[in-house]
Structure 1
Amino acid sequence: ISKDVEFKDLGLIIIDEEQKFGVAAKEKLKGIKANVDTLTLTATPIPRTLQFSMMGARDLSIINTPPPNRFPVQTELRSFNEEIIRDAILFEVARGGQVFFVHNRVQNIMDVYDMLMRFVPGVRIGVGHGQMEGEKLEKVMLGFIEGNFDVLIATTIIESGLDISNANTIIINDAHHFGLSDLHQLRGRVGRSNKKAFCYLIAPPMATLTSEAQKRLRAIEDFSELGSGFNISLRDLDIRGAGNLLGGEQSGFINDIGFEMYHKILDEAIQELKESEFSDVFKLDQPKHFVRECVIESDMEILLPPEYVDVSSERINLYNELDNIQDEERLRQFTERLIDRFGPVPRQAADLINTIRMRWLARELGFEKVVLRNKTLIGYFISEQQSAYYQTAQFGNILKYLQANPKACNIKESNEKLMLYLIGVSSVNAAIEALKRVLEFEN
């Protein structure tokens, strides 16, 4: 990316180990030539890059198939313990393998060397870090590759580019100081053959760590299967945030609202711009419905009963899954899975599932909110009085339905909000039928 490099006919840029590049460097690469195709490769995409893919601004391909005869690296989180470190090193050396010991502080790396010499006397130990002279560092690394050392104490310079099939144990000291991407990259230095590999994360007791450090360590311990880099990156995105989409920050905190809510707000902001300032540009991309979200309120029992799904975390997961369903086929599959896992669906859960259908109908009718209480359904129309919705044939049909059925419904305005009242609606099923009659009404 230096200025003195010129390309004759640049058509494709491939960026390997993308997480090592900053925004400025990547934009400079793409700025070399307009409309150049760019392919970025990484085991752990940084949050900002992953966010661009999640929102559809970049294409995403995932390679899940590992090389043949590979095993997942067994990952264990441990407090500093002489016996654990000694046993891990001696076990690996006894089976003819080699060990990485990662200590990322050059200032006291020789103290670690003395400590390991005391823990495992007779084991050959080398030290390598980025502040060593080039020739000396190269000699140490080549010596380790050739098997002259059993243990290599090193900083994160081993993070990428090393492929030593005989090294199948890595011990990461002070693992709580590393990022998720760094931990995953370091763990990838072992397990590169058909031997079982081990990764030991040495950290203080969890109770003494920050919540972010605890989440990172739990994530790297949980996601230890082959090809789990994408899941780790998603967790990293959730922990650190997506950064600044239009600026240089490649991560940023969204913990206060969570990733899903952040993504929802971002989608709404983009859609609002499409419908207002850039409506001419996105004429063919206008929304099917004027209402993106419809809130349902009711005094009925509409839930997954604890006696039906007894684990609270599982109920929350099911609620989230149900909330994201947007079509009848997926809703049917959800119901079948529910029956298969927990048995016949009770009335409260059946009403909950039908509430999703009711919400679809309400959105089509232009309701931002539906209240179902006291045998009455109240639909709150779009609050934006200048909305193009009020000029549509759909709203006109609702007015015609009102004129044709004055006893069954009426319309009111309160605090500049327009509301449709449907009388005699005593259940979720009755609400669905009532909304269908309004939606399908033709004069």
Structure 2
Amino acid sequence: IEREGQVFWVYNRVQGLERVAEYVRKLMPEARVGMAHGQMSETELETTMHKFWHGELDVLVCTSIVESGLDFPRANTLVVDQAQMFGLGQLYQLRGRVGRSDRQAYAFFVVPDAERLTAVAEERLRIIMDMDYLGAGFQVAMEDLRLRGAGNILGEVQSGHMSRVGLDLYLEMLEEAVGRLKGTPSALAAETELTLGLPAHIPASYIDDGRERLRCYKALTSAAGGAAREEAALSMRDRFGPFPEELNNFLAVLDFKQFLTELQVQRADVYRDHVRMFWPGGQTAVHPERIVQLAAEMPGARLHPPAGLSLPLAGELSFGEGLQKIRLALEGIRASAS
């Protein structure tokens, strides 16, 4: 308050909130204290928040109703009373209510006895203290999911062990099971496993910060399609300059891998002078007879029974251009190609 700021005092029980407000008034009699919670009438709550916004209140004693959707630039201090009773996501959201301008802000998480906290409560507070860097929200969400479990999607029970299967895989399994019950034929879908025989990565000499390099890897590999990946790559080039050869190779491999996955290729070995691909039994993306035909028509191509094909990369082309040429040749063996 001496720094001309305002204070959030969060206590997440409506019963007893008046007692807490009275306690705050005794702590600082000269402070103007208001109260806000979800059981107040709409008019009363709006009036209180309006006063706090316009600086007519110094301290707002409230429940976690303020954890999201509010922006008070003058708020520079947060006190979370009985912090052990809040979830990890709630603590992270509450901490974001202060420090929303250029003035220094402080968040205090108060517990009755640090020595007698439950193991889960202690871990929640440790995580929220450790993850104080910009962009930590995703990691906080994953830690919260790890602590609480992903839940039972088909029932009311909200506890589980996501780490045993993984949420994405669980949803895929669920979709396949529903499809089988409906009698819908399921297409073979598996990400192609690549073995690389050439340097294809983001060099440390290009991005020396390991954390930033990891973010760039994530942006490129998690892109939904070629357009999104190109946008991420352009953003990298704007920040760090022209791409080295290793990074150009990496981008070409990512696009080619996505294409091979569409063709249901199980495994591929990628070298500077050739590409070797293997299809699993039961694939439906390509015509086997067209694979044989392509091997007979393209110079340097070889078959690897029972379901493998090796195609050469033109030496006069760059690596990316060579992969693009192979991609054009493989378009003709698709089951959907005329």
**CA–CA distance in structure 1, aligned partners of residues 127 and 215 of structure 2:** 19
Q: Which residue of 1 aligns with 2:237?
A: 339
C-alpha distance in 2 between matches for 1:203 and 1:306:
43
CA contact (8 A) 1:220 1:232 kept: no
Partner of 1:248: 156
Deviation at 1:334, TM superposition (A): 3.1
Q: Determine which of 135, 138, 141 is the counterpart of 1:236.
A: 141
1:397 equivalent among 290, 299, 316: 290
More moved, 294-303 vs 180-189: 180-189
The aligned amino acid for 1:266 is Y
- Counterpart for residue 326 of structure 2: 434
Letter in 1 for 2:241: G
User: What are the superposed Cα offsets for residues 373-429 of structure 1, whole Å, 9 maximum, x if unpaired?
Assistant: 4844221212xx3x252xx6533311222344585211234xxxx433335677554
Q: Which residue of 2 aligns with 1:356?
A: 254
Specify the code of the residue in structure 2 equivalent to 1:335: A
Name 1:213's counterpart in structure 2: 125
After superposition, give the CA deviation of every residue in 1:114-163 in whole Å (9 maximum; x if it has no partner).
7984x54666889999xxxx9xx99xx99x9699x976767x48769xx9
- 1:323 aligns to 2:221 (yes or no): yes
RMSD (Å) for aligned C-alpha atoms: 5.3
> Do the aligned residues in 1 keep the contact of 2:88 with 2:124 (CA within 8 Å)?
no
- Quote the residue 2:265 is aligned against: 367
Larger RCO (CA within 8 A; separation ≥ 6)? 1
Change (3 A) 1:344 1:112: same
Hey, what's the Cα distance between the residues in 2 that align with 1:363 and 1:353?
A: 16
For the structure 1 residues 299 and 344, does the alpha-carbon distance in structure 2 shift closer, same or farther, using more than 3 Å as the test? same
Number of equivalent positions: 305
Corresponding residue to 2:79 among 158, 162, 171? 171
- Distance apart, 1:370 and its partner CA: 1.0
Are the structure 2 counterparts of residues 406 and 292 from structure 1 closer, same or farther at C-alpha, using a change threshold of 3 Å? same
Letter in 1 for 2:288: F
Deviation of residue 314 (structure 1)?
1.8
Code of the residue aligned with 2:169 in structure 1: it is I
Q: Is the 8 A contact 2:313 2:326 kept in 1?
A: no
Distance 1:368 1:126 in 2: 64
- The verdict on how the C-alpha distance between 1:122 and 1:425 changes in structure 2, with shifts beyond 3 A counting, is same
The alignment partner of 1:410 has SS state of strand
Conserved 8 A contact 1:100-1:153: yes
- CA distance change for structure 1 residues 367 and 176 in 2, over 3 Å: closer, same or farther? same
Partners of 1:368 and 1:374 lie apart in 2 by 20
CA–CA separation in structure 1 for the residues paired with 2:83 and 2:126: 10
Pair 1:428–1:291, CA change in 2 (3 A): farther
410 and 103 in structure 1: CA distance in 2 versus 1, 3 angstrom threshold: same
- By how many angstroms is 1:112 displaced? 10
Alignment of 1:261-300 (within 5 A): 262-273=166-177, 276-280=180-184, 290-300=188-198
TM-score normalised over the length of structure 1? 0.51
Aligned-partner Cα distance in 2 for 1:419–1:211: 51
How far the C-alpha of 1:307 sits from its partner, in A, is 0.9
**8 Å contact from structure 2 (residues 267, 277) kept in 1:** yes
Q: CA deviation at 1:348?
A: 0.5
Alignment of 1:421 onto 2:297: no
Q: Distance in 2 between matches of 1:366 and 1:157?
A: 49
Instruction: Verify the 8 A CA contact 1:113 1:127 in the aligned structure 2.
Output: no
Please point out which of 186, 209, 217 is paired with 1:311: 209
Aligned amino acid, residue 246 of structure 1: L
1:32 maps to what in 2?
Answer: none
Q: Which residue of 2 aligns with 1:202?
A: 109
Q: State the Cα distance separating 1:365 from its structure 2 match.
A: 3.2
Contact between 1:370 and 1:380, CA under 8 Å: does it hold in 2?
Answer: yes
Measure, in 2, the Cα distance between the counterparts of 1:188 and 1:341. 28
The amino acid that maps onto 2:9 is F
Cα shift at 1:297? 1.4
Alpha carbons 2:292, 2:303 under 8 Å: kept: no
Do 2:92 and 2:128's aligned partners in 1 also have CA atoms closer than 8 Å? Answer: no
Q: Which runs of 5+ in 2 are unaligned?
A: none
- Residue 329 of structure 2 aligns to a residue in which SS? helix
Q: Is the partner of 1:236 in helix, strand or coil?
A: helix
Match of 1:15 in 2: none
Alpha-carbon distance in 2 for matches of 1:159, 1:348? 48
Aligned partners of 1:291 and 1:367 also within 8 Å: no
Evaluate the alpha carbon distance shift between residue 249 and residue 343 of structure 1 in structure 2; reply closer, same or farther with a 3 A threshold: same
Which residue matches 1:102? 10
Deviations 1:50-100 (A, max 9, x none): xxxxxxxxxxxxxxxxxxxxxxxxxxxxxxxxxxxxxx4x556xx8x7x55
Structure 1 CA distance, aligned partners of 2:222 and 2:96? 35
Asked if the contact 2:313–2:323 (Cα under 8 Å) also holds between the matched residues in 1, the reply is: no
